[in-house]
């Protein structure tokens, strides 16, 4: 039998510089970086795999589209219009889900998500009517482009909705959320303070630069059809300070500086297995943390 001779190991490559490929940044890209540096590297540097999306992400896309169209007609919600608003939003949900049918892997999944959206939409309208009775407001923007230059770093994004309070003239920035979010204003504030989320801070600075008096930052949960809609709402100056929003802005600039520097660096994996649950790169990521339940089994 012929002897097998092992090849010499390949020489280790000299570490090279990895830099952000895109000329612009977004708050969601920095959120991905804060959640897991390796995820940011796979998604924004390598474009390692094309994320095919999921029923959950298509649910979000369709719901956002339905609300954008709905508020085109109902830009000044009235408590007495509840029935008309229920009818119109149900119509927009049906249309938006039909347009996004191909994003649902099966007919059953499509039907389940469509029904979930219709039930959630009813709760949304109930909340909208109550909110309009409490403090009348006008929807002044839907899917508003958000662009801002932060110390030479160009940021872009879209704001789901902007409302103007009719009594005070102040503006609320509203972000629709169809996935997991902080459960309270306090929890979201902590996330901002720990630099785990930059989205609402970014929108605050975009609209402040545009001349708005931004008073409220709102996360609007649209995930659970069995629960009433209860927004996570932060009053600027009370539940979150301008200084905290300023710190978040400064941290955004620091991260951008790091990501565009010429220093070689590695991108570590997260320690939180929850971040890996829906990550598109789990198959490629050998160093991901084990799921919580398996930690003692390894």
Query: Is the Cα dihedral 167, 210, 62, 232 positive or negative?
Result: negative
- In the complex, the smallest distance separating the C-beta of residue 50 from ligand SF4, rounded to whole angstroms, is 15
- From candidates 39, 64, 114, 164, binder to ligand SF4 by CB under 6 A: 39
Angle at CA of residue 31, ends 272 and 96, nearest 5°? 105
Q: What span, in angstroms and rounded, lies between the C-alpha atoms of 6 and 229?
A: 64
Question: What are the DSSP calls for 159-228, one per residue?
Answer: EEEEEEETTT--EEEEEEE-S---SSHHHHHHHHHTTS--HHHHHHHHHHHTT--EEEEEEEE---TTS-
260 binds ligand SF4 (CB under 6 A): no
285 binds ligand SF4 (CB under 6 A): yes
- From candidates 25, 33, 42, 198, binder to ligand SF4 by CB under 6 A: 42
- From candidates 20, 27, 33, 38, binder to ligand SF4 by CB under 6 A: 38
- From candidates 27, 36, 128, 234, binder to ligand SF4 by CB under 6 A: 36
Q: Are 41 and 267 in contact (CB under 8 A)?
A: yes
90 binds ligand SF4 (CB under 6 A): no
Q: What span, in angstroms and rounded, lies between the C-alpha atoms of 65 and 99?
A: 10
Angle at CA of residue 175, ends 129 and 192, nearest 5°? 130
Closer residue to ligand SF4 in complex, CB, 80/291: 291
Applying CB under 6 A, what is the total number of residues that bind ligand SF4?
13
Binding mask 156-185 for ligand SF4 (x = CB under 6 A): ------------------------------
Residues near ligand SF4 (CB under 6 A)? 36, 38-39, 42, 269-270, 275-276, 279, 281-282, 285, 288
């Amino acid at each position: 039998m012929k002897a097998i001779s092992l090849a010499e190991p390949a020489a280790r490559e000299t570490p090279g510089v990895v830099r952000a490929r895109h000329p612009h940044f977004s708050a969601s890209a920095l959120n991905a970086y804060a959640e897991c540096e390796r995820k940011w590297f796979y998604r924004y540097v390598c474009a390692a795999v094309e994320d095919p999306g999921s029923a959950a992400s298509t649910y979000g896309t369709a719901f956002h589209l339905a609300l954008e169209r709905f508020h085109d007609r109902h830009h000044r919600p009235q408590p007495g219009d509840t029935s008309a608003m229920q009818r119109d939003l149900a119509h927009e949900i049906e249309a938006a889900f039909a347009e996004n049918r191909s994003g649902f892997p099966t007919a059953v999944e499509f039907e389940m998500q469509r029904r979930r959206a219709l039930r959630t939409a009813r709760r949304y309208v109930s909340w909208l009517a109550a909110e309009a009775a409490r403090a009348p407001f006008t929807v002044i923007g839907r899917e508003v482009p958000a662009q801002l230059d932060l110390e030479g770093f160009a940021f872009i994004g879209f704001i789901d909705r902007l409302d103007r309070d009719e009594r005070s003239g102040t503006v609320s920035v509203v972000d629709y959320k169809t996935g997991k979010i902080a459960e309270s204003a306090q929890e979201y504030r902590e996330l901002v303070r720990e630099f785990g989320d930059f989205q609402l801070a970014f929108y605050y600075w975009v609209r402040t630069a545009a001349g708005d008096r931004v008073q409220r930052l709102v996360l609007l949960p649209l995930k659970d059809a069995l629960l009433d809609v209860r927004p996570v709402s932060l009053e600027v100056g009370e539940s979150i300070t301008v200084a905290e929003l300023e710190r978040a802005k400064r941290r955004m600039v620091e991260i951008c500086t790091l990501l565009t520097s010429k220093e070689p660096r590695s991108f570590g994996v997260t320690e939180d297995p929850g971040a890996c649950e829906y990550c598109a790169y789990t198959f490629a990521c050998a160093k991901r943390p084990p799921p919580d339940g398996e930690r003692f089994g390894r």
